[in-house]
Structure 1
Amino acid sequence: MRAQTISRTRTPREDLWAPVEESLADEEIAAGLRDGAEPCLEAAYHRWGTLVHTLAHRSLGDAREAEDVTQQVFLAVWRGRDGYDPARGALAGWIVGITRRKIADALRARTRRSDLASAAEAALSLAVPAADDAPRRTLDRVVVSHELAQLPATQRRVLELAFFADLTHTQIAQVTGWPLGTVKSHSKRGLHRLRLRLVGTDVD
């Protein structure tokens, strides 16, 4: 799931404001952010966006994922601005800390997708005879989607949020209101049941 884009194209009004943005000190940007001044979010994005993107790209090795992480970081900066304490360090360091957490989230999401894909592929390799690649891939998608729909509602909800929405267990807990341990349990059981269903084992 791609994060909402903050802004990349300046309006004429923003062009008039650009010299002011470039003259702002880091401390002024930080103070403006804490006061809820949206232009200061734009200023932070232009000042540290390249750094955030570079860190993400080096860790993820994928330009599109790095762009997604960059957008997520600055959305988190805006939403969590009340949590920034200048006494604990510079704004740039706080942003880098958020970046590292978002990169870790992206890596965990990638692992979850890989695990689910591997489980489905392994099961389907036992259940489906060898065939031409294109029809096989189409069949895989149909079968996995069908079997996912057969899971109990709670397990299906967790796997859909993890696989299709790229949410972490913590984020799923926030979205659903379920305890984190419950989310992890549903995820584990759902993957197990999905694997059993794909190989044709009775799980009822």
Structure 2
Amino acid sequence: MDSVPGTRSGVDPDDAEVGRRFAAGEEQSLVWAYERWAGQVHGMAVRAFGPGPDAEDVTQQVFVAAWTGRARFRPDDSPLPAWLVGICRHKIADAWARRDKQRREAEAAVSEAKATPAGGTEPAVDTVVADRMLVLDELDRLGQPQRGIIELAFFEDLTHAQISERTGIPLGTVKSHIRRTLERLRTRLEVDGAALPA
């Protein structure tokens, strides 16, 4: 019985053959593609975002998008690694666009807070705006569950009680995580020489 290409006893196909099998929807070709080019794709993502979850997410998104969109891949027109690189560039651009949107929303919140007449509740508003800016700059450094809690608090504007209800984490723990996380974020910015809004 002849050995099957790609098995331990056989010989892996060359890159062009992997591309042809990928376009044909052969699942083993996705495994080969990942083994051969995930490092290159991940390297691009790391250069864009630094090492960490963002780069890992983009790498995964590239291969998922490539596989689900394989009907658009033409192996005779472009080699598979070049197609993957193109998808990676789009995913990186999408991720930066999301970050930029979050920053614009935060800047709009700052402008709105500054335009609001001073009143008894303004210190709380200023604190929320300052914390939101800190979170935007430092969110990627947080682990779970702190990151998830902070995202719910600052990007979805949930109260502590709502976060507790949604996540199943006790209310006191939610409050502690937010307090400690914001303290760490402030400390990091102070070490970097950044000043918080007065």
Task: Report the Cα offset of residue 72 of structure 1.
Answer: 0.9
Task: Report the Cα offset of residue 64 of structure 1.
Answer: 1.3
What per-residue deviation string (whole Å, max 9, x for no partner) do you get for residues 141-184 of structure 1? Answer: 589738xxxxxxxxxxxxxxxxxxxxxxxxxxxxxxxxxxxxxx
Equivalent of 1:96 in 85, 100, 104? 85
% of aligned pairs identical?
A: 35
The structure with the largest alpha-carbon Rg is 2
The residue aligned with 2:113 is 124
Q: 8 Å contact 2:22–2:29 — kept in the other structure? A: yes
Gaps of 5+ in 2: 1-5, 133-152, 159-198
Task: Report the Cα offset of residue 137 of structure 1.
Answer: 4.8
Q: 8 Å contact 1:73–1:98 — kept in the other structure? A: yes
Provide the rounded CA distance (Å) in 2 between the counterparts of 1:130 and 1:110.
Answer: 27
| 1:1-204 matched pairs, under 5 angstroms | 19=8, 23-125=12-114, 127=116, 128-130=121-123, 137=131, 141=153, 145=157
Provide the rounded CA distance (Å) in 1 between the counterparts of 2:105 and 2:76.
Answer: 43
2:60 counterpart letter in structure 1: Q
2:13 counterpart letter in structure 1: L
State the TM-score, normalizing by the size of structure 2. Answer: 0.54
Q: Say how many residue pairs are matched.
A: 128
Between Structure 1 and Structure 2, the one with more helix by share is 1
1:41–1:20 Cα change, 3 Å: farther
Stretches of 4+ aligned residues off by more than 3 angstroms: 17-22, 124-128, 131-134, 141-146
1:49–1:142 Cα change, 3 Å: closer
Task: Report the Cα offset of residue 29 of structure 1.
Answer: 1.4
1:145–1:25 Cα change, 3 Å: same
Gaps of 5+ in 1: 1-16, 147-204
- Higher relative contact order (Cα pairs below 8 Å, separated by 6+ residues): 1
The residue aligned with 1:149 is none
